[in-house]
Amino acid sequence: MGLKLLFLLAILSGSASATRLDSLVGQPVTINKSRLWIVGATSLLTLSSTYAYLERTWWHGKGVPFHFDEGRDLVYASGLDKVAHLTGGVFISEAYYNAFRWAGVSERKAEWLALGSAAFVELSIEVKDAYSPTYGFSWRDVAAGTLGGIWPMAQHRSGFLRDAQWKVSYWQQTPKYFNERGIPVQRLSIDDYINQTYWFSFSPDHFGGQRWQRTWPDWLQLSVGVGLEAETWSLNHDGLGGRHEWYIAPDINLVKLLKPRSKAAKAILGLFNYIKIPAPTLQLGPTLRWHWLYF
């Protein structure tokens, strides 16, 4: 994820088969230097290509001097972008935690490296925004993404969070975002918050007794979601960027439902677990509404 992370990985790797003591389980683990460099090189390639893509598609060659965001980030998406940065931090930290564990890093060190990686990625994003004519450097975004980086630590220390998942769904119910910006409608835009919903899924069996836990399927979860009301959202008004919509819906943990045996299948299903499966949904606010199938 840049030269800084590569340098950190080089220090951590030591020798090609340096033996370390896992601080949590008390078992020796072997750090694989080659795999660590794969993690670093892949990160550097991904960050560089993403930066080039965003500069070409967002800036259109119209960069400006470094500047801070003056509060627009709290207005145009009613703060929903902070949930997006939090969720992004969760995804990034989980990916890096698994990558560092694959490379033989101890659990505790992998947790801290995952947190640092999430913080570094978020900081890189904001440095990019600092030169954008539309955005600016936001410490609030950095804080939200870094907070998401704590997720692997939190999961390993809480039975409730161990079964919980952060998810996202995107369904283009309205082209309003593109129309107000005066740009062609795209299939997907990471800034189109009125068509995005962020979810926190958890297992209700943690709140019941033993009989309840034996009865409730371990793969069936409940999910609480938040999005924006398209009718009240606008880029051009003086108020906040739309009212928040709140949802509750059933959800499925695909790994627990399908119980894959191979690590590859488990990893693939784990990626799909980041996407909220369409399901009957009750909208709680700002108006009460039933969706037979919410995407």
CA–CA gap between residue 89 and residue 109 (Å, rounded): 17
Which percentage of the chain shows pLDDT scores above 90? 51
Confidence of residue 5 (pLDDT cuts 50, 70, 90): very low
CB 242 within 8 A of CB 230: yes
49 contacts: CB under 8 Å, gap ≥ 6 = none
Give residue for tokens 């998406």.
77
Evaluate if residue 43 carries a pLDDT over 50: yes
Question: Which whole-number Å values give the CA distances from 201 to 38, 82, 118, 182, 209, in the listed order?
Answer: 32, 18, 21, 36, 20
Lowest mean pLDDT among 60-64, 136-140, 245-249: 60-64
Buried b (16+ CB within 10 A) or exposed e, 3-18: eebbebbeebbeeeee
The mean pLDDT value for 49-64 works out to: 69
CA–CA gap between residue 168 and residue 278 (Å, rounded): 11
72 contacts: CB under 8 Å, gap ≥ 6 = 135, 136
With H, G, I as helix, E, B as strand and everything else as coil, classify residue 273.
coil
Q: What's the angle, vertex CA 170, arms to CA 165 and CA 173, rounded to 5?
A: 145
With H, G, I as helix, E, B as strand and everything else as coil, classify residue 75.
coil
Q: Give the tens place of pLDDT for each residue, 117-128.
A: 999 999 988 988
CA–CA gap between residue 108 and residue 24 (Å, rounded): 7
Evaluate if residue 24 carries a pLDDT over 70: no
CA–CA gap between residue 250 and residue 237 (Å, rounded): 35
The whole-model pTM stands at: 0.85
- What residue segments make up the domains of the chain, in order of their start? 1-157, 159-295
Cα four-point dihedral sign 39, 42, 47, 50: negative
pLDDT, the chain, mean = 84
CB 204 within 8 A of CB 221: yes
50: left (phi over 0), alpha (psi -120 to 50) or beta: alpha
CB 58 within 8 A of CB 132: yes
CA–CA gap between residue 250 and residue 284 (Å, rounded): 14
Confidence of residue 45 (pLDDT cuts 50, 70, 90): confident
**Helix (H) and strand (E) counts for the chain?**
11, 8
Give residue for tokens 């965001």.
69
State the angle between helix axes of 107-130 and 80-102 in degrees (0 to 180), rounded to the nearest 10.
140
